[in-house]
Amino acid sequence: MSVFGKVYLVGAGPGAQDLVTLRGARLLAQADVVLHDALVTAEMLELCPQAVKIAVGKRCGRLSTAQAFINKQMLDCAHKYAVVVRLKGGDPMLFGRADEELRALEQAGVDVEVVPGITTALAAAAAAKQPLTRRGVARSVAFFTSSTAPEHAGQVQVPDTDTLVQYMGGREAVTTAQRLLEQGRGADTPVIVVENCSRPDQRILRLSLATLAHGLGEAHGPVLVMLGNALALREYQAADGATGSKVVKTA
């Protein structure tokens, strides 16, 4: 019989409480302890009132929890509790450090299960009512980020696909836009920026690649940037991508 409890890597989705999966919500209601990311909302944590809550967040440019410490916290909790939930924004398997956490748990002999979540790219496309693929226009999509491990700094390349989705965009998206223009992408290529996706203060910004190359302005929450011709407004499409969203259009 194992001396450890079981650890669940659960995807919280983009932020809204009702966008977590049913399995994720059920596990939160059963959890003894929840180790959660900085991007997990207070509303989401209302689903686990009975659990001990431990913040282990990482935010660019802010004081963050080291990954080695997070791994140790999970192992310590697995010694103490039967049901341990590691709650991660979006989907654990996409830009979620799942590989490092799975390795640590597996090496220690801890039983672990992954529960998928809605990744922000799909939630952002839904919020803007803008498919990432379009027949005859875009048949390939790449999700990428400029964040890298220190040993790979400076090696980021922009993928060569029809539609590009840059996670943790912000200032890095401006550099991406400049590179794409240098590579021959059209200056009028549509761009959609979604800030605080699925949250009450969600903001959708529509602009061109050329405009993005000159700057994005200040953001007050997590930013995702989608680029490509599939993102052009449809003939009868209203510009307000989602009810309650603040939508800004620029050149």
In angstroms, the CA 155 to CA 149 distance is 10
The answer to whether residue 162 is catalytic is: no
- Cα torsion through 87, 227, 239, 203, rounded to 10: 40
Tell me the C-alpha distance between 66 and 91, whole Å: 20
Which of the following is catalytic: 32, 58, 129, 240? Answer: 58
| Gap between the Cα atoms of 114 and 112, Å rounded | 7
Active site residue 32: no
Provide the β-strand partners of residue 223: 195
Alpha-carbon distance of 182 to 120, in angstroms, equals 28
Alpha carbon of residue 40 to chain centroid? 11
Measured CA to CA, the distance from residue 152 to residue 125 in angstroms comes to 30
Cα 239 to Cα 249: distance, rounded to the nearest angstrom: 8
Structure tokens at 17: 């409480």
Q: Which tokens sit at 83?
A: 């049901």
- Separation of alpha carbons 127 and 86, rounded Å: 26
| Dihedral of the alpha carbons of 183, 187, 192, 196, in degrees to the nearest 10 | 70
Which amino acids are annotated catalytic? 37, 58
